[in-house]
Amino acid sequence: MNRDELVSYIPDTFKDKVQLLDTGRAEPFFLIKAENLLEFSRAIKDDPKLHMDWLSCVSGVDTGEHFEVVYSVASVQTKIRFDYKVVLAYDGAEIESVQTVWPGANWHEREVWELYGINIRNHGNLTRFLLPDDWDQGHPLRKDWDAPDFVRMPEK
């Protein structure tokens, strides 16, 4: 399935659950609602034409206006690759864990929880990860995070 077929196949199959974004510069990016996350993830893995069995990466993003969580998925069998994301408001940002679909999501989600403070439901192991055990200075990858020894490059 090439890119053109993919950008029509996914909206055709999942209807209003998914929306194609125009920001993807290589592979297509889709936007889904947070409440459909687990259902959509399972569906793209089980769909015989897509068979997305490979979760490359889960990236949290703070755009300065809201949070995003980007899932980069691929398939070993069909060689298809695309990304999808959920957009979350700052207040009470929370998503469902996708570990039941891809067990490898565990550490990626733990990182999102730790560095952005996005809560992951049904994760089971949300403990300190990259940061020191006694860390109490918030979530460093948020755009509003500042620390005494962190100096931003001046804007010019």
Partner 1 sequence: MSESRGLHTKEFTLNVGPHHPSTHGVCRFVLKMEGEVITHVTPVIGYLHRALEKICENRTYEQIIPVTDRFEYCTAMSCNMAFSLATEKLAGIEVPERAEYLRVIMLELNRISSHLIWLGTTSLDLGALTPFLYAFREREYILDLFEMTCGQRLTFNYIRPAGVSRDIPPEFIPKCREFIDMFNDKIDDYERVLTENPIFIARNKNIGILPPDVAIAYAVSGPALRASGVKFDLRRDDPYSIYDRFDFDIPTRENGDCYDRYLIRIQEMRESTKIVRQAIEQIPEGEIRGKFNKMNFKPPAGEVYCRVENSRGELGIYLQAADKEKKPLRVKMRGGSFNQLQVMPVICVGHKIADLVAIMASMDIIMPDVDR
The residue ranges that bind partner 1 (CB under 8 A) are 23-27, 29, 53-57, 59-64, 70, 72, 74, 76, 79, 81, 83, 102-104, 106-107, 128-132, 140-141, 150, 152-153
Report, in Å, the least distance between residue 54 CB and partner 1.
Answer: 5
Using left for φ > 0, alpha for ψ between -120 and 50, and beta otherwise, residue 15 falls in: left
Q: What is the largest CA-CA distance in the chain?
A: 52
Which candidate, 57, 63, 145, places its Cα nearest to that of 104? 57
Q: Which is nearer to partner 1, 12 or 76 (CB)?
A: 76
Report, in Å, the least distance between residue 101 CB and partner 1.
Answer: 9
**For residue 2, with 0-12 CB atoms within 10 Å meaning exposed, 13-18 middle and 19 or more buried, which class applies?**
exposed
Q: Which is nearer to partner 1, 60 or 96 (CB)?
A: 60
Rounded distance between C-alpha atoms, residue 71 and residue 59, angstroms: 7
Report, in Å, the least distance between residue 92 CB and partner 1.
Answer: 22
Report, in Å, the least distance between residue 145 CB and partner 1.
Answer: 8
How wide is the angle at C-alpha 115 spanned by C-alphas 111 and 121, nearest 5°?
60
Rounded distance between C-alpha atoms, residue 120 and residue 116, angstroms: 11
Q: Which is nearer to partner 1, 29 or 40 (CB)?
A: 29
Q: Which is nearer to partner 1, 15 or 144 (CB)?
A: 144
Q: Which is nearer to partner 1, 12 or 22 (CB)?
A: 22
Report, in Å, the least distance between residue 50 CB and partner 1.
Answer: 15
Rounded distance between C-alpha atoms, residue 40 and residue 73, angstroms: 12
